[in-house]
Amino acid sequence: MPVLRQVSKAEATDETVLAYYKRLFGDRDPVAEPGTATGTPGDWWTVFALAPDIFKHAVDGFAVYRHPARKIDPVLRELGQTRAGWIKGSQFVFSQHCKSLRGLGVSEEKIASIAYWTVADCYNEQERAVLAYTDCLSAQNGRVPLQVFDKLRTFWNDEQIFEFTYITCLYDMHAVITRALRMEYDAREDPIVEGAAPEGFSAADFLSAPRPAVTPHR
């Protein structure tokens, strides 16, 4: 469950919010009866509905990257979005854009290899350049060697590089928001927890723990 309150159908008054509720949930209340056609709980929508103007800004952003005026190959775009979701640890963003890649006809090998693209042989030179740039944006927080831009400029102009940068960073942001607020597939416990010590263990560190007796070899 998200950490923030969700907006029910009865509570919603904004026309844009209600239109998306109808489109995604039909006549159901998305809080009382969650679930979208893509298999997600749908609570991204019900949490974003807390601020209808931000809700509209977000869905307008979705329309921007799909607009016919975009100049970049949608496969390269989706590689960036999917890799950004993986880097930020957002199962929601990663999962949804794996589905988008599949819908664009990308092979299962390439989709499965996104986590370890640096050692995978299935990507072409353009795809590798795009994934390297995505790592600079999402993993290195925008620290990009100029040599990466040199490689991108072998197949993209400045307008295309800007488009890709904006869209990838937009989904980097969504991945962070979704994880932070425990929405959709990111409503899960952090996997990094302390492993239990043996009962009675009280050493300051593992090197100061009692050592087992060693029987000398005869």
Q: Is the pLDDT of residue 103 over 90?
A: yes
Q: Cα dist. 95→18, 90, 151, 212 in Å?
A: 26, 8, 28, 47
Residue 137, pLDDT score? 98
The Cα 200–Cα 78 span in angstroms is: 51
Higher pLDDT, 6 or 67: 6
Residue 66, pLDDT score? 85
Rounded to 5 degrees, what angle do the CA atoms 55, 57, 62 make?
A: 95
Higher pLDDT, 120 or 189: 120
Structural domain boundaries in the chain: 15-63, 72-186
Residue 205, pLDDT score? 66
Indicate the pLDDT class of residue 65, thresholds 50, 70 and 90: confident
Q: Is the pLDDT of residue 121 over 80?
A: yes
Protein fold of 72-186: AhpD-like (1.20.1290)
Q: Is the pLDDT of residue 11 over 90?
A: yes
Residues contacting 64, CB < 8 A, separation 6+: 167
The Cα 28–Cα 30 span in angstroms is: 6
Nearest to 132 by CA among 168, 91, 95, 181: 168
In order, the DSSP letters of 53-85 are HHHHHHHHHHHHHHSTT--S-HHHHHHHHHHHH
Q: What is the pLDDT of residues 66-97, one digit of tens each?
A: 899 999 999 999 999 999 999 999 999 999 99
